[in-house]
């Protein structure tokens, strides 16, 4: 496959999936990782995509109408997500009552919780399994299991969540915009996230730097309703909106 065909394939896959990993592009094109990384650098230079660690996303400020598949998201910005998750886990005390959202960054928090005596509630099935395997106390609300993100959503989940009052919540997002706040493509997931923010004494949004400047269909909450944990802040104007921690 010549370079032009390869780059066209990359853009077509990106349009379909919203995010792509280097590994998936190697499989789709038959090219080496080094070749794909060069292609991504060139397409990033042309402004046709945003190159991130481990793959690429649509350009900044692009409207996100679909939720990327969790298996694809898990391969993107791995090091950044690990740093954010480790810092987030360190904020939990033994007497906390904690909500952990479904998502690839929040899922990594379970790896850094040790033998925490906190009580956890999560809408992420994979997160719940990890917490139980570590011997931690965890509640899972009822509801519909969404295939793409493996998150519990719907009326039953909202009813369960509405009974809780969290000391701390850790929530994922697809986009961060000064005008639109924290956003996500799915209405039902947005409702769960929004309720978690409302019922929390302190809420953290876990988001790597690729999320800034993006807007998805549904607003979770304004920026001033939660603190942001990120690997790098690409635009200093966000600091006037809320507390932001760039983790080491």
Which domains, from first to last, does the chain contain? 3-59 (1.10.10.10), 73-246 (3.40.50.1360)
Query: What is the per-residue pLDDT across 62-103, written as a single tens digit (0 to 9) for each?
Result: 565 556 655 555 556 688 999 999 999 999 999 999 999 999
Lowest mean pLDDT among 8-17, 88-97, 132-141: 8-17
146 Cβ contact partners less than 8 Å away, ≥ 6 residues apart = 152, 153, 186, 188, 189
pTM for the predicted model, two decimal places: 0.74
Q: Would you state the pLDDT for residue 75?
A: 58
Structure tokens at 46: 């042309």
pLDDT at 108 over 60: yes
Lowest mean pLDDT among 9-23, 95-109, 150-164, 176-190: 9-23
């Amino acid at each position: 496959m010549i370079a032009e065909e390869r780059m066209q394939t990359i853009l077509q896959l990106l349009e379909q999936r919203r995010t792509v990993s280097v590994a998936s592009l190697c499989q789709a094109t038959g090219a080496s990782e080094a070749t794909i990384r060069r292609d991504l650098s060139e397409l990033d230079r042309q402004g046709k995509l945003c190159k991130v660690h481990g793959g690429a996303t649509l350009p900044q400020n692009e409207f996100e109408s679909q939720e990327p598949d969790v298996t694809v998201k898990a391969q993107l910005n791995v090091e950044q997500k690990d740093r954010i998750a480790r810092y987030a886990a360190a904020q939990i005390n033994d007497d906390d009552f904690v909500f952990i959202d479904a998502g690839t960054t929040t899922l990594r928090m379970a790896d850094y919780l040790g033998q925490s005596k906190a009580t956890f509630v999560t809408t992420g099935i994979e997160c719940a399994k990890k917490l139980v395997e570590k011997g931690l106390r965890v509640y899972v609300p009822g509801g519909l299991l969404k295939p793409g993100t493996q998150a519990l959503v719907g009326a039953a989940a909202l009813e369960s969540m509405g009974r809780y009052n969290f000391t701390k919540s850790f929530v994922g997002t697809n986009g961060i915009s000064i005008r639109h706040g924290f956003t996500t493509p799915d209405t039902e997931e947005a409702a769960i996230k929004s309720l978690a923010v409302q019922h929390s004494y302190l809420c953290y949004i876990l988001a790597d730097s690729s999320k800034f400047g993006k807007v998805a269909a549904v607003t979770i909450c304004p920026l001033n309703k939660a603190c942001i944990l990120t690997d790098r802040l690409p635009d200093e104007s966000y600091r006037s909106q809320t507390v932001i921690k760039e983790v080491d």
